[in-house]
Amino acid sequence: MPLVVPGVTTNDPAVQKTEEWMNKLCGKTLADHTSETTFCKKDLPEQTRIIEPGSMVTKDFNPDRLNVHVGEDGKVSHVLHG
């Protein structure tokens, strides 16, 4: 039986999808090419919005939309679906 720790591991596909994108993008800069420190914007899902500091965003919830939060330094700080 696999180890399941509430708040740490989950079998929820939506959470796993978000964690997968977090692992791919966190700490990288979005660019026109992919490397160890950058990630190509064209490889992101169709329903993606890049949220920079101070950006205005709608509050509507869309479970298929990937929200990529970018810090002041231009690097991805975290991602969320919604």
**Containing domain of residue 25, as a range?**
13-81
pLDDT tens digit string along 48-81?
A: 999 999 999 999 999 999 999 999 999 999 999 9
Quick one: DSSP state of residue 54? Answer: T
Q: Which two tokens stand for residue 62?
A: 């869309």
- At residue 9 the predicted structure's pLDDT band, cuts being 50, 70 and 90, is low
Give the total number of structural domains in the chain: 1
Question: Does a structural domain hold residue 36?
Answer: yes
Q: What is the pLDDT of residue 29?
A: 94
> The whole model's pTM is what?
0.81
Which residue, 45, 24, 43, is CA-closest to 32? 43
Q: Considering the chain, what percentage of its residues have pLDDT values greater than 70?
A: 88
Provide the CATH number for the domain around residue 56: 3.30.10.10
16 token code pair? 């796993």
- Examine residue 26 and state whether it is found in any structural domain, yes or no: yes
